[in-house]
Amino acid sequence: MSEATGTKPAARGPRRGELLEVEVDSLAFGGRGLARADGFVVFVSGALPGDRVRVEITKGKKRFAEARTVELLQPGADRIPDRCLHGGEPCPGAPWQGLPYESQLTHKQEQVGEALRRIGDLEGFDLEEIVPAVEQWRYRNKLEYSFGESDGEVTLGFHARGRWDLIVDVDDCQLASEAGNAARNAVRDWARLESVSAYDGRSKEGILRNLVVREGRRTGQIQTRLVTSASRLPRPPVDLHTAIEGDSGSTDGPTGAIGEERLREELCGLKLEMSHGAFFQTNTEMAERLYAVVAEFAGLSGRERVFDLYCGIGTIGLTLARQAGEVWGLEIVPEAITDAERNAELNKVENANFVAANARTGTRDLIERAGKPDVVVIDPPRAGLSQKIVRRVLECEAQKIVYVSCNPTTLAPNAAQLTEAGYSLKRVRPVDMFPQTPHIECVALFEKTGGGGA
């Protein structure tokens, strides 16, 4: 009680660097554990429901705090042993591996519904049962690794939890196939044999930065892409098709090719080829399940005009073309459009057309060129659609909109905007593309009901 004011001072929340013991009650969206300390909400990375953990506060706010797990004091009753470990630590790419798989599916289903109801203020839609993964492990067709050094030896793996400067060496990542692991290990062995150094961000010295391993699951092709600082390199012992010179540490930049530039894959009966930077779903088997849901929701009869916005290399549009009258794909990345056109030719698909343009500025031009569509398919990035792009979608006046979302919290406000403008959210079906992680993919169907306005 303050003598001056007669009021009780406000409780102080946890501060950065503080160590606390907390018990995790539930999972927040995004996968972090939710705990409470003296009435304050604490979001804990690396913890699951029922866990009692020692945590370090990494960020303190007025109403909540963020923390990382320092020690698991007592596991929750439902926790199962971690399967994928690197250097004794859980794989950072599998933060939910301690959850039984059925629990993972339940949480994802609930979080999709919660986002639509709480953020979008939506009701009356059919939240359908989540489509489980074909494979719970070894499902990724793409993984990116970082180079580091330990005791004078090159390491290749993932950043240690909470550390940007420490790379944990990986021998067998359970998210990757045996072939993908073998390719990564061959590159690391080559670097050690040839004494090629890892890049050090502090000293700005060294060569090797990152390695991207991609796999054609149906073709057996392995494609490795090395990201380096500017330097001449000895030839690697694997099919390393790209060495990138640049100072950004990203996977973009001018390339020097060794081996095959293009990755080959088969999906939904299509033969696909893609350039090194092209987006492709990282779970080939579940991409087929996802696109089957898109086709089901689109309900094509063979006559419809379909717009495929954010079409990438044309995978969704080419899949739908067999049931559509015509398909028009729109994509801002010119290289992806080149891939899409090549894939249409490769598969002898003659009713699919692809245009390199921004969805915000190119949709009106596409309407003038092709006419208004019957169905619009949208597969945007995690940030969802801006208000301007929502308006462009509404100008299409399509009877159906099929929205493929990788983030329910951005789907929800977009869904609210569409329903306010005269569409009804009919069905939502989650698809588990990423087992052992909190990431959620889902497909939503909107049908035009009239009313509203853009």
Task: Report the alpha-carbon distance of residue 224 to residue 214 in Å, rounded.
Answer: 6
Active site residue 406: yes
Tokens for 294, please give them. Answer: 């898109």
Which secondary-structure segment (H or E) carries 409?
A: helix 408-420
Active-site choice (173, 311, 396, 406) = 406
CA proximity to 237, closest of 198, 189, 199: 189
Helix, strand, or coil here: 281?
Answer: coil
Q: What are phi and psi of 339, to 5 degrees?
A: -60, -45
Query: Measuring CA to CA, how many Å separate 61 from each of 64, 84, 269?
Result: 5, 33, 51
CA atoms in the 13 A half-sphere facing the CB of 354: 28
Q: What are phi and psi of 167, to 5 degrees?
A: -105, 125
> Looking at the DSSP assignment, which residues form a beta bridge with residue 266?
271
Long-range pairs of 248-254 with CB within 8 A, sequence gap ≥ 24 = 249/199, 249/201, 249/209, 249/210, 251/144, 251/210, 251/212, 251/225, 251/227, 251/277, 252/277, 253/227
**121: number of Cβ within 10 Å:** 12
**105: number of Cβ within 10 Å:** 19
Tokens for 378, please give them. Answer: 């949208």
Q: Is 197 in contact with 208 (CB distance < 8 Å)?
A: yes
Which secondary-structure segment (H or E) carries 338?
A: helix 334-346
Instruction: Give the relative orientation of helices 408-420 and 387-395 as an angle to the nearest 10 degrees.
Output: 50
Tokens for 87, please give them. Answer: 């250097």
Q: What are phi and psi of 284, to 5 degrees?
A: -60, -45
Q: What is the residue type of 21?
A: E
Residues recognised as catalytic: 406
